[in-house]
Amino acid sequence: MRPFAVTVASLLALVLGVNGLAALDRRHHQDRLQEAAAAFPPDRVMAFDGVVDERRLQEARLRVVPPPRIVAFGSSRVRDVSSRVARADPGSFYNLGMSGAVVEDYIALWSVLKREKKIPATAVFSIDAWVFSRTQEQVAWVALAPEVSRFLDTAHGEHGPSWTAAREVAVWWLEAKDLVSFSVLLQSIRDLERALAGRRRQGDDLVTALMGDLVPEDRLGGRQAIRADGSVIRAASASEATPARLRDEAASYVATGAYALKGFRWDAERAANLERLWRDMRAHGVTLIAYAAPYQPAAWELLVRHSEYRAALEASASFLRRLAEHTGARFFDFSDPASVPCREDEFYDAHHPKPSCLERIWDRLLR
């Protein structure tokens, strides 16, 4: 029995040592990213080519930006909302939108806001119907999984201040379990191998961009960029679509599944998690406003003719309307562009509205 106990203890010590070293290395890497994020001045934009790790960028920026009065949650369809579009004073607005953002992303960023004591007065959610579909692969949020766990495993969005001490103990337990986890061990080994070999790791692209590609907005030269308030500037080529091309893109968008509306199956767990999130936010005094973003007119006409897609949109809107009533939030369904109204040329493609369209939406939401 004793040799067995010694073997188990030795293995646990090995796992603890490797995971501990990897955790220290990740902390050092995170500190570099944090320093770079803190050096992002409000009069510059971060130019980039291709893609960047939006989730790690948002997490790092939330730790250093001033407490925002208004925040925006949502997918790439809300990313163009800037302080100017929201008619907000400098430093009072922050856009938390991310490509393909889902309920878990909302939860993770709210968890960071709470921990950093940066509770906003108002939160605006741009919510896509596909967020509630079980058939849509939703994996990007895993980059923020620890924050999601903190909320779902400890707060549950249902308890008041008396639960603070219990939450802190639960969070400590979750972090301690990672140090002796064999699944975490595999990732730790990979991380240490990259560090020892000098290879690029997750987040290196952000450090590079934040340290070398901060320029005045008027000197972008048509490149895409992210502002200090979290909003995006699309590449100049994104605005060059002709009416004929927009209509072709609308037809292709609908024919290829309308971004997970095809085969739509209601995900009750994500719906319940959104309710937990909203109830927790309301308990912290946050005013909640949600809306369904508009589609390009040609895309909308095709969507409503398709019974499966129309049913998915109606199911999402109906749920959000009921949830808003139960939680004291407000919900607006702008899926039909005529309800804003937004013209055909006020879209980049079948479902991404331009700032001029978003400005009218946000005037309606915040007035």
Distance from CA of residue 38 to its chain's centroid?
A: 20
As for how many domains the chain has, the answer is 1
Kind and range of the H or E element at 189? helix 182-197
Kind and range of the H or E element at 72? strand 70-74
| Contact partners, residue 250, CB within 8 Å, separation at least 6 | 296, 298, 299, 302, 350
Q: Which residues of the chain have pLDDT under 50?
A: 25, 157-164, 166-167, 170-171, 173-174, 184-185, 192
**CA–CA distance, 114 with 3 (Å, rounded to integer):** 47
pLDDT of residue 240: 80
pLDDT of residue 56: 86
Residue spans of beta strands (DSSP E) within 216-323: 224-227, 232-233, 287-292
**CA–CA distance, 149 with 111 (Å, rounded to integer):** 10
| Contact partners, residue 168, CB within 8 Å, separation at least 6 | none
pLDDT of residue 298: 96
**CA–CA distance, 161 with 110 (Å, rounded to integer):** 16
pLDDT of residue 143: 73
Cis peptide bond upstream of 341, omega within 30 = yes
**CA–CA distance, 294 with 299 (Å, rounded to integer):** 10
Q: What is the pTM (predicted TM-score) of this model?
A: 0.81
Report which DSSP code applies to 95.
E
**CA–CA distance, 230 with 227 (Å, rounded to integer):** 5
pLDDT of residue 207: 63
Question: The domain containing residue 70 runs over which residues?
Answer: 2-366
Kind and range of the H or E element at 123? strand 122-126
pLDDT of residue 119: 97
